[in-house]
Amino acid sequence: MCRDPFCDARIRHIDHITRYSDGALTTYINGRGECERGNLVREMPGWRIKLLDCGFHGGPHAIMITTPIGHYYRSRGPGHIMTTKIITITALGQSRQSMSGMSSRASR
Protein backbone atom coordinates (compact mmCIF):
# COMPACT_ATOMS: atom_id res chain seq x y z
CA MET A 1 0.00 0.00 0.00
CA CYS A 2 1.06 3.58 -0.68
CA ARG A 3 3.06 5.26 2.11
CA ASP A 4 1.14 8.52 1.90
CA PRO A 5 -1.16 9.14 4.86
CA PHE A 6 -4.82 8.28 4.27
CA CYS A 7 -4.01 6.62 0.93
CA ASP A 8 -4.54 2.91 0.48
CA ALA A 9 -3.80 2.81 -3.24
CA ARG A 10 -1.52 0.15 -4.64
CA ILE A 11 2.17 0.92 -5.04
CA ARG A 12 3.02 1.96 -8.59
CA HIS A 13 6.24 3.93 -8.06
CA ILE A 14 9.29 3.60 -5.87
CA ASP A 15 10.17 7.09 -4.72
CA HIS A 16 13.49 8.39 -3.43
CA ILE A 17 12.89 9.92 0.02
CA THR A 18 15.84 12.22 -0.59
CA ARG A 19 15.74 12.93 -4.31
CA TYR A 20 18.22 11.35 -6.66
CA SER A 21 18.54 14.78 -8.29
CA ASP A 22 19.72 16.10 -4.91
CA GLY A 23 22.52 13.55 -4.84
CA ALA A 24 20.89 10.72 -2.90
CA LEU A 25 21.48 7.11 -3.80
CA THR A 26 18.98 4.48 -4.84
CA THR A 27 18.94 2.34 -1.71
CA TYR A 28 16.44 0.35 0.29
CA ILE A 29 16.57 2.88 3.12
CA ASN A 30 16.03 5.84 0.78
CA GLY A 31 13.02 4.27 -0.93
CA ARG A 32 9.32 4.26 -0.29
CA GLY A 33 6.45 2.72 -2.20
CA GLU A 34 4.01 5.22 -3.59
CA CYS A 35 0.90 5.36 -5.70
CA GLU A 36 1.36 7.27 -8.93
CA ARG A 37 -0.61 10.30 -7.67
CA GLY A 38 1.43 10.50 -4.47
CA ASN A 39 4.72 10.42 -6.31
CA LEU A 40 3.63 13.15 -8.75
CA VAL A 41 2.20 15.36 -5.98
CA ARG A 42 5.42 15.02 -4.01
CA GLU A 43 7.29 16.71 -6.88
CA MET A 44 5.21 19.87 -6.52
CA PRO A 45 6.78 22.83 -4.66
CA GLY A 46 6.70 22.79 -0.87
CA TRP A 47 6.52 19.06 -0.20
CA ARG A 48 9.28 17.67 2.02
CA ILE A 49 10.01 14.12 3.09
CA LYS A 50 12.51 13.23 5.78
CA LEU A 51 13.76 9.84 6.90
CA LEU A 52 13.11 9.28 10.62
CA ASP A 53 14.10 5.65 11.06
CA CYS A 54 15.96 3.38 8.66
CA GLY A 55 14.09 0.38 10.05
CA PHE A 56 17.15 -1.69 10.86
CA HIS A 57 17.13 -1.15 14.63
CA GLY A 58 13.93 -2.85 15.71
CA GLY A 59 11.36 -0.32 14.60
CA PRO A 60 9.75 0.03 11.20
CA HIS A 61 11.09 2.24 8.44
CA ALA A 62 9.63 5.67 9.21
CA ILE A 63 9.40 8.97 7.37
CA MET A 64 7.94 12.43 8.00
CA ILE A 65 5.94 14.01 5.19
CA THR A 66 5.47 17.80 5.38
CA THR A 67 2.90 19.45 3.13
CA PRO A 68 3.29 22.90 1.53
CA ILE A 69 1.07 24.44 4.26
CA GLY A 70 3.12 22.93 7.08
CA HIS A 71 1.02 19.94 8.07
CA TYR A 72 3.14 16.92 8.78
CA TYR A 73 2.45 13.22 8.88
CA ARG A 74 4.51 10.30 10.05
CA SER A 75 4.43 7.21 7.85
CA ARG A 76 5.76 3.83 8.90
CA GLY A 77 6.66 1.01 6.58
CA PRO A 78 5.15 -2.45 6.78
CA GLY A 79 8.33 -4.09 8.10
CA HIS A 80 11.12 -6.06 6.52
CA ILE A 81 11.24 -9.18 4.50
CA MET A 82 14.45 -10.77 5.68
CA THR A 83 16.04 -13.47 3.63
CA THR A 84 18.89 -15.65 4.72
CA LYS A 85 20.92 -17.78 2.37
CA ILE A 86 21.62 -21.15 3.91
CA ILE A 87 24.48 -23.19 2.53
CA THR A 88 24.57 -26.85 3.47
CA ILE A 89 27.71 -28.88 2.81
CA THR A 90 26.78 -32.47 2.09
CA ALA A 91 28.86 -35.54 2.82
CA LEU A 92 30.01 -35.54 -0.80
CA GLY A 93 31.34 -32.04 -0.51
CA GLN A 94 28.64 -30.58 -2.69
CA SER A 95 26.96 -27.48 -1.50
CA ARG A 96 23.27 -26.85 -1.66
CA GLN A 97 21.83 -23.42 -1.30
CA SER A 98 18.36 -22.58 -0.17
CA MET A 99 16.61 -19.43 0.76
CA SER A 100 14.78 -19.03 4.01
CA GLY A 101 12.36 -16.14 4.19
CA MET A 102 11.01 -14.45 7.24
CA SER A 103 8.78 -11.45 7.14
CA SER A 104 7.45 -9.22 9.80
CA ARG A 105 4.78 -6.62 9.47
CA ALA A 106 4.14 -3.58 11.57
CA SER A 107 1.14 -1.32 11.62
CA ARG A 108 1.16 1.83 9.54
Q: Does residue number 7 form part of the binding site for Zn ion (CB under 5 A)?
A: yes
Instruction: Please identify which residue in 16, 17, 32, 38 interacts with Zn ion, judged by CB under 5 A.
Output: 38
# chain residues binding Zn ion, by CB under 5 A = 6
> Per CB under 5 A, which region of 37-45, 52-60, 62-70, 88-96 contacts Zn ion?
37-45
Instruction: Please identify which residue in 16, 17, 35, 55 interacts with Zn ion, judged by CB under 5 A.
Output: 35
**Do residues 17 and 51 touch, judged by C-beta distance below 8 A?**
yes
- Three-class SS of 36-47: HHHHHHHCCCCC
* Beta-strand runs (E) in the chain: 13-16, 31-34, 48-53, 62-66, 72-76, 81-89, 95-103
- Residue closer to Zn ion (CB basis): 23 or 46: 46
* Contact positions vs Zn ion (CB under 5 A): 2, 4, 7, 9, 35, 38
